[in-house]
Copies of this chain bind each other. A is one copy, B any other.
Amino acid sequence: MTKSDPSLVNSKVLADFKVGVDNVIFSVDTKQNRLLVLLSKRKDEPFSGEWGLPGTLVRQGESLEGAAYRILAEKIEAKNLYLEQLYTFGGPNRDPRESPHSFGVRYLSVSYFALVRYEEAQLIPDQFNNTTWYIIEKVPQLAFDHNQILEYGYRRLRNKLEYSPIAFDVLPELFTLSDLYQFYETILGTNFADYSNFRNRLLKLGFLLDTEIKVSRGAGRPASLYRFDPVAFAPLKDKPMVFI
């Protein structure tokens, strides 16, 4: 209590916060094998005109997750998605609206991580806010600490993919094993695993049901369509490294 505090203001005065929610929304363009992240051009200060993660301030009576879903709904039409809380960034001076010597409000960002089905995720056109999918490797300098948040979300995506069945929230109901393999490849990088071993491991685990329906994609032998069985997966929850 008697400890000296280096801050500029009375150390016992509570901070007042505005709480924002920022979303790191990923999708996989399976046709072109690209991992995409949704960015929007800011229309308000600060950082007006620059790119940033889609975000919003939390309204009265609104839950954090509620705000996260609201952002999503304002930007894209997405029926199939996975969403979870990522991290809370709350240091002082992460937002220029906090003037250095002000007794004013602090800005805190609770970030959410989402994965959506690309083919279905129609961008909602907006005359003011320019919103686009960016290839992950080509993301520019972003507003605030959003590059850092994005980096954090990207790490979470790769980790999550290894033990969590989030791929099936986002793949079509029926998919071939190559579809699944390519999905993993575009996120984790090519040669993340041998294809035939990937097949064998997953099929042995028994939560992929072969529908026996065959589809032909150009030349080559037709592939079987599979379906994810959540019930059969249940016992593998919190078992690590299921997919790799």
Contact = CB atoms under 8 A, between A and B. Distances in A.
A1 B87 contact: no
Given A162-B240, A240-B162, A90 B61 contact: no
Interface stretch (A16-24, A175-183, A208-216, A222-230): A16-24
A13 B212 CA distance: 54
A97 to B, nearest CB: 13
Nearest to A163: B240
A89 to B, nearest CB: 8
User: Dominant SS at the A interface?
Assistant: loop
B85 A63 contact: no
A159 B90 contact: no
Interface stretch (A2-10, A113-121, A140-148): A2-10
Given A88-B88, A238-B159, A240-B240, A14 B61 contact: no
A78 interface: no
Interface stretch (A43-51, A52-60, A186-194, A198-206): A52-60
A235 interface: no
Chain multiplicity (copies): 2
Contact of A17 (B17, B87, B238, B240): B17
Interface residues of A, number: 44
21 contacts: A1-B74, A5-B62, A11-B61, A14-B59, A15-B60, A15-B62, A16-B16, A16-B105, A17-B19, A17-B58, A19-B19, A19-B90, A19-B106, A58-B106, A60-B103, A61-B92, A64-B90, A65-B91, A88-B88, A88-B110, A159-B238
Interface of A: 1, 3, 5, 7-19, 57-65, 73-74, 85, 87-88, 90-92, 103, 105-106, 108, 110, 159, 162-163, 238, 240-241
